[in-house]
């Protein structure tokens, strides 16, 4: 496991997700101490004499991270030896894997429909002499550009297009050629999908989204089984200093206890929304991997245990989409996703994704299903009447 102190968690593999979530990363009970110790606000720790860990300087280690890393590791890889490294944001975690693994002259394969900051990272890698190839997520198209690559980056389901690829199939082909595989697990969360179980070398995610679910903090993490790969990622964090604050780390850990409750409601709401949108004449391009009719469904059903909170669809044009957005009462017009409060946005306003002007990315929250669906249907009616 980690070189960090062990915790008092129960044998994880036999427990259900809810049990796992409420107990994840808790230290062994100590009389008169709280269940989850509060954030350790410390730039440095008492360090008389020789330099000995675990806690020396706050950019390297912090006991609040230790517990959170333990918790995330238990959710991503229950019952297994895994190494988890938390970061200040999802992009800090993504960059740490790509930039700590790829060297000048190496080739990296990215999806061409992934998170909108990946093209920025691509430019940066190319400036460092790393070759970058891209292919779409759907139909495992990345298989065609794998040859000789150092690292394959997978994002499934992809954000915002919600395409899904067969992780196991890509991993088998990549490993056969000596290529490492990282999966961006942000959209699914560890409750929806466990990339390490599908053979990936790294599971990487933004904890800003569904993992923590309250839209009040930024966080990222990397989980991997190999100690040497983990050491490179941890070294990168030390060099770049993209560390989460103790308060954010503690809030994230506190939020993890409810991840199953949040996910169950949010995923059910997303499915109900997708079903309510099915067959509406003004809606095209409806995507939700949990819909039996979705092009992603077959692969998603094989490798995912839940299909996430994000639904995407397209309204006839920009003005129609803007009328829809402003007619919503229970849904906040905001970016990001995975919050207990529903959010949606006209994605084209950012200019970064190849989406139609009327494209809506909708993140279902934990509202009562009837209330949420009624609000969306009323807003669609209102947008359709042009008012
Ligand atoms: C949001 C997001 C990221 C980046 O996470 P931040 O916490 O915003 O840095 C990376 N990948 C995916 C799929 C995301 O949705």
Q: Is the pLDDT of residue 5 over 60?
A: no
Q: Is the dihedral of CA 64, 65, 70, 72 positive or negative?
A: positive
HEC profile of the chain: CCCCCCCCCCCHHHCCHHHHHHHCCCCCCCCCCCCCCCCCCCCECCCCCCCCCCCCECCCCCHHHHHHHHHHHHHHCCCCCCEEEEECCHHHHHHHHHHHHCCCCCEEEEECCCCCCHHHHHHHHHHCCCEEEEECCHHHHHHHHCCCCCEEEEECCCCCCCCCCCHHHHHHHHHHCCCEEEEECCCCHHHHCCCCCCCCCEEEEECCCCCCCCCCCCCEEEEECCHHHHHHHHHHHHHHCCCCCHHHHHHHHHHHCCHHHHHHHHHHHHHHHHHHHCCCCCCEEEECCCCCCCCCHHHHHHHCCCCCCEEEEECCCHHHHHHHHHHCCCCEECCCCCCCCCEEEEHHHHCCCCCCCCEEEEECCCCCHHHHHHHHHHHHHHHHCCC
Domain boundaries, the chain: 25-256, 259-385
pLDDT at 208: 98
With a 6 A CB cut-off, is 87 part of the ligand 1 pocket?
A: no
pLDDT at 354: 85
Q: How confident is the model at residue 314 (pLDDT cuts 50, 70, 90)?
A: very high
With a 6 A CB cut-off, is 2 part of the ligand 1 pocket?
A: no
What is the fold, at CATH topology level, of the domain defined by 259-385?
3.90.1150
221 touches 85 (CB < 8 A): yes
Atom of ligand 1 nearest to the CA of 159: 13
- C-alpha 356 – ligand 1 centre gap (Å): 21
The per-residue pLDDT for range 180-232, each reduced to its tens digit, is 999 999 999 999 999 999 999 999 999 999 999 999 999 999 999 999 999 99
pTM of the predicted protein model: 0.95
Share of the chain above pLDDT 90, in %: 95
Dihedral pair phi/psi, residue 47, rounded to 5°: -145, 65
Residue to mutate, 162, 208, 243, ligand 1, most ligand atoms under 8 Å from C-beta: 208
Q: How confident is the model at residue 149 (pLDDT cuts 50, 70, 90)?
A: very high
Q: Is the pLDDT of residue 249 over 90?
A: yes
Residue to mutate, 98, 206, 244, ligand 1, most ligand atoms under 8 Å from C-beta: 206
pLDDT at 31: 97
With a 6 A CB cut-off, is 140 part of the ligand 1 pocket?
A: no
Q: Is the pLDDT of residue 308 over 90?
A: yes
Cα 205 to Cα 173: distance, rounded to the nearest angstrom: 23
pLDDT at 36: 98
With a 6 A CB cut-off, is 360 part of the ligand 1 pocket?
A: no
What is the fold, at CATH topology level, of the domain defined by 25-256?
3.40.640
What is the radius of gyration, based on Cα positions, of the chain?
21
Cα 14 to Cα 206: distance, rounded to the nearest angstrom: 27
Alpha-carbon distances, residue 59 vs 42, 88, 89, 112, 240 (angstroms):
10, 11, 15, 34, 10
Q: Is the pLDDT of residue 368 over 50?
A: yes
Cα 223 to Cα 231: distance, rounded to the nearest angstrom: 11
Ligand 1: which residue has its CA nearest to atom 8?
A: 90
């Amino acid at each position: 496991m980690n070189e960090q102190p062990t915790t008092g968690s129960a044998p994880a593999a036999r427990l259900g997700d809810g049990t796992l979530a409420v107990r994840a990363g808790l230290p062994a009970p100590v009389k008169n101490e709280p269940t989850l110790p509060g954030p350790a606000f410390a730039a440095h720790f008492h360090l008389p004499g020789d330099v000995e860990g675990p806690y020396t300087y706050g950019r390297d280690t912090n006991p609040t991270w230790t517990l959170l890393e333990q918790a995330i590791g238990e959710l991503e890889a229950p019952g297994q030896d895994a190494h988890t490294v938390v970061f200040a944001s999802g992009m800090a975690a993504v960059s740490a894997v790509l930039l700590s693994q790829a060297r000048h002259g190496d080739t990296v394969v990215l999806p061409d429909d992934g998170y909108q900051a990946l093209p920025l990272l691509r430019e940066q890698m190319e400036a460092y002499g790393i070759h970058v190839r891209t292919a779409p997520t759907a139909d495992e198209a990345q298989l065609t550009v794998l040859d000789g690559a150092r690292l394959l980056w997978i994002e499934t389901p992809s954000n915002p297009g919600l395409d899904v690829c067969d992780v196991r199939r890509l991993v088998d082909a990549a490993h056969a050629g000596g290529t490492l595989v990282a999966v961006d697990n942000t959209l699914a969360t560890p409750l929806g999908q466990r990339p390490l179980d599908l053979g990936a070398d790294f599971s990487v995610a933004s904890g800003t989204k569904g993992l923590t679910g309250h839209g009040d903090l930024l966080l990222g993490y990397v989980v991997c089984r190999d100690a040497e790969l983990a050491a490179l990622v941890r070294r990168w964090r030390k060099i770049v200093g993209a560390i989460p604050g103790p308060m954010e780390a503690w809030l994230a850990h506190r939020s993890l206890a409810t991840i199953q409750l949040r996910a169950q409601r949010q995923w059910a709401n997303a499915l109900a929304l997708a079903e309510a949108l099915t067959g509406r004449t003004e809606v095209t391009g409806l995507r939700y991997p949990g819909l039996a009719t979705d092009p992603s469904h077959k692969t998603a059903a094989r490798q995912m245990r839940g299909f996430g909170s994000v639904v995407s669809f397209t309204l006839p044009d920009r003005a129609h989409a803007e009328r829809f957005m402003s007619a919503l009462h229970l849904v906040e017009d905001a970016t990001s996703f995975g919050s207990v409060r529903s959010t949606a946005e006209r994605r084209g306003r950012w200019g970064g994704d190849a989406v139609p002007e009327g494209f809506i990315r909708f993140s279902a929250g934990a509202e009562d299903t009837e209330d949420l669906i009624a609000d969306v249907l009323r807003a669609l009616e209102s947008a359709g009447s042009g008012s």
